Amino acid sequence: MFEGLGGTTEETKKEHLKVKLNGKEMTFGVPRHGHHTLENNDEIGHIRRFLRDCGCEPKAE
């Protein structure tokens, strides 16, 4: 998704994903083996805020 928006991604040694998009950078945890926890829900919120801060919001219809 990030690369589709023009960003770059790099997986770190600590199973995190470093994302650079529109001049901003953030690191997110990478869920493994289909494990979905409440912690992952927090990550979704972080991703949404990061995308908004990068100017990537859904267009209002």
What is the C-alpha separation between 27 and 18, in angstroms, rounded? 4
Amino acid at the residue 33: H
At residue 58 the predicted structure's pLDDT band, cuts being 50, 70 and 90, is confident
pTM above 0.75, yes or no: no
pLDDT value of position 8: 96
Contact 57, 47 (CB under 8 A): no
- Per-residue pLDDT tens digits for 15-57: 888 999 999 999 988 776 665 555 556 778 888 899 999 999 8
pLDDT value of position 40: 59
pLDDT value of position 37: 55
